[in-house]
Structures are given as C-alpha cells and as structure tokens.
Amino acid sequence: MSSNQKKVMLSAIQPSSQLTIGNYIGALRNWVKLQENYDCIFFAVNLHAITVRQDPKMLLEQTYRAIATYLAAGIHPEDAAVFIQSQVPEHTELAWILTCNSYMGELNRMTQFKDKSAKQGANIPAGLFTYPVLMASDILLYDTELVPIGHDQKQHVELTRDIAIRMNNTYGKDLFKVPEVYIPPVGARIMSLQDPTAKMSKSDPDVSSAIYLTDTDDQIRKKLKRAVTDSGTEITDDDTKPGIRNLLAIQSSLTGKSIPELVLSYAGKQYGHLKLETAEIVVQAVAPIRNRADELMSDRAYLDSVLQRGAEKARVRAQRTLKRVYDRMGLVSPQGRA
C-alpha cells in the first residue's frame, strides 16, 4: 500500500527529561509495532515541554536525544515524518484557532492540569492550562486517524475529539478527521518503582522511581532490585500488590507472555526472583536502544538531515489543513483567499 492510501498514525513525546520505560512500553514500542500499516508522523514536542521551566541547553540536548531514541527503537525515518514540533510553526498557528473554540470548563477538568498545576505554587504558567489544545492541534493538523498513547493521555485525545466534532458542526462536517486512540492492553500505565500507586514519570525528582532509556545496565539492575513491593511473599496479580503487579506488567509487555502465565511460572518463588528476572528483561530491551541512540547522538548531521526532511514533509500537509481551516472560518490565509 502506498503511504497516501494508508491511514495516518501520529504520536509524540515531551523531551522534558530523558524518556522512561513507561514512555517506551506505553507508547514508543507500539509506534514501532504498528508503523508498517500506517502513514506515520512522530515528533518531539519541545513546545509542550516549556509549559514548565526548562534549562535551554538541556532541553536542546533532550530534544535530539528523544529523536535519536525514536530511531534507535526502530522507527523508519525513510517512511515516517520525524521532526521537532518547533520546526513546524503551523502547530502553534492552529493551536490559537482551537483555543478560541475550546471552553475553560473542559480544560479545567483535565486531570493532568490539576496534578501539574498543584506542583507550581502561586504562579501557574497559562501554557499548562492550554497545553491540551496544542496537543489537539498536533493531532488535527494531519487528518490523524490513530493516536497510540499510554493511559494518561487518553483524556487529552478525548478533548481533541470534542473540539473536532464541535468545529465540524460549526464550520462543515469534514473540516477535521476525528481521531481514535490506541492504548496497549498491558503496560498502558507503568507505575513508579518507589511508589507503585503513582505513575512512573520522567519528571519525578526521585530518579530511582523511573528507569530511563539512558540508564546503564547496572543502574537498571539497582533500581529494580530496590523497587518497592509489599511485605508479602507470594507473587500474585492483585490490587493489594501494586508493586508486584507493576513488575509483572513490565515483564508481560516486554516478553509477550500473559500475566497469568507469568504468575504461574513464579509459583513458589520469591519477590527477589521476580525483581532479578525483570531487571534482565529490561536490560535486554533498553541496552540496544541506549547504545544505538548514543551512536546517533554523535552524528548530529544525520539527525538534522532526518529532521529537515521530516519537517518539510509535515509542513506541506499542515499548511494544507490550515488553509482549509482559514477558508472555512472567513480568515484570510497567508496564501490569500480561496
């Protein structure tokens, strides 16, 4: 199938820190698995990352590292458009138009805004509040049909659908394609290794709570050895053992074995076994990605050529959508009237 007959799949990750195995299992890995059957668009959302203060040098480095990690994990840059959000200014342009068609009430209901703004003290950046609208713009610019994400982004895609449907009702029914989510059956919510009731997050100040895709084999082993579990001994998959459940989910998604199958294989074994074996499975998954990303990071010219090509492909498509939106809304577009 040629790429223009395939449906569009799009997703992105914030380079606000190094990527974690939560990002890999919940999202990136599924992009790689599904990419053959879709016309793919993957980018690093540096404009999302600045909703909280970033060190400019680190942000730049992490942005390139995110792109290198996409490629190292197996994204094909010859087929997919791979770029950095700020290289395609149409994302922010459409975001304004969508902001004018979004409601304070619906943005106020976003649980991620509630969580993140609670950590900001008195001065909450307005960008944290309008951030889901920029994400809607990312998605709607490309007539996206499928958005592969982890569980925590579901609410934002639902908002995207609401905005798209609302604007289709107002400005003509085929203005925007209404996207669907893909959420993996296992691993959509990998939990913190230090508090298995909270999501593993790349911005957690406690670096032992997350496994980063840049961690060394030793760091991975140490973090999993110290992963918080409960005081029991039996390895079962139930609500009272969120730490054990998390390790089982990590193993299950990386090996393809089902959780009941894993539980059965651990009958009579100790928590220590589970931690040790999970660590080896994670090392096997992370090491090749880390090593390949290291190599790619030392070839900035190659990364820039991929990004340049990806951004050019994306811009042509984004401008086409924006022109449609300007025309329908009675706005004079940069290209002039229709």
241 is a catalytic site residue? no
Number of residues this chain uses to bind ligand TYM (CB under 6 A): 26
202 is a catalytic site residue? yes
Dist CA 227 CA 244 (whole Å)? 9
Q: Are 276 and 266 in contact (CB under 8 A)?
A: no
* Smaller CB separation from ligand TYM, 14 or 229: 14
* Smaller CB separation from ligand TYM, 35 or 153: 153
CB of 330 to ligand TYM, least distance (A): 28
Closest by alpha carbon to 113, among 85, 151, 155, 141?
Answer: 155
293 binds ligand TYM (CB under 6 A): no
Dist CA 25 CA 253 (whole Å)? 7
13 binds ligand TYM (CB under 6 A): yes
**Residue 147: φ, ψ to 5°:** -120, 100
199 is a catalytic site residue? yes
Q: Which stretch binds ligand TYM (CB under 6 A): 10-18, 248-256, 282-290, 313-321?
A: 10-18
110 binds ligand TYM (CB under 6 A): no
Q: Which stretch binds ligand TYM (CB under 6 A): 8-16, 239-247, 271-279, 288-296?
A: 8-16
Which class for 261: exposed (0-12), middle (13-18), buried (19 or more C-beta within 10 A)? exposed
253 binds ligand TYM (CB under 6 A): no
Dist CA 327 CA 245 (whole Å)? 52
Of residues 45, 67, 146, 159, which one binds ligand TYM by CB under 6 A?
Answer: 45
Dist CA 247 CA 266 (whole Å)? 12
Q: Are 8 and 41 in contact (CB under 8 A)?
A: yes
DSSP string spanning 139-189?
A: HHTTT--EEE--GGGHHHHHHHHHHHHHHHHHH-TTSS---EEE--SSSSS
Q: Which residues contact 326 (CB under 8 A, 6 or more apart)?
A: 332, 333
* Smaller CB separation from ligand TYM, 152 or 234: 152
Which residues in the chain belong to E strands, given as ranges? Answer: 8-13, 39-44, 81-84, 146-148, 180-182
Print the binding letters for residues 47-86 with ligand TYM: x by CB under 6 A, - otherwise.
-x--------------------------------------
Residue positions counted in the chain: 338
199, 223, 241, 275: the active-site residue = 199
* Smaller CB separation from ligand TYM, 67 or 334: 67
6, 57, 114, 116: the active-site residue = 116
Print the binding letters for residues 134-163 with ligand TYM: x by CB under 6 A, - otherwise.
-x--xx-------x-xx-xx--x-------
Of residues 12, 293, 303, 307, which one binds ligand TYM by CB under 6 A?
Answer: 12
Determine the number of helices (DSSP H) and then strands (DSSP E) in the chain.
14, 5
133 binds ligand TYM (CB under 6 A): no
22 binds ligand TYM (CB under 6 A): yes
Q: Footprint of ligand TYM on this chain (CB under 6 A)? A: 10-14, 22-23, 25-27, 45, 48, 135, 138-139, 147, 149-150, 152-153, 156, 188-190, 199-200
- Catalytic residues, by residue number, are 116, 199, 202
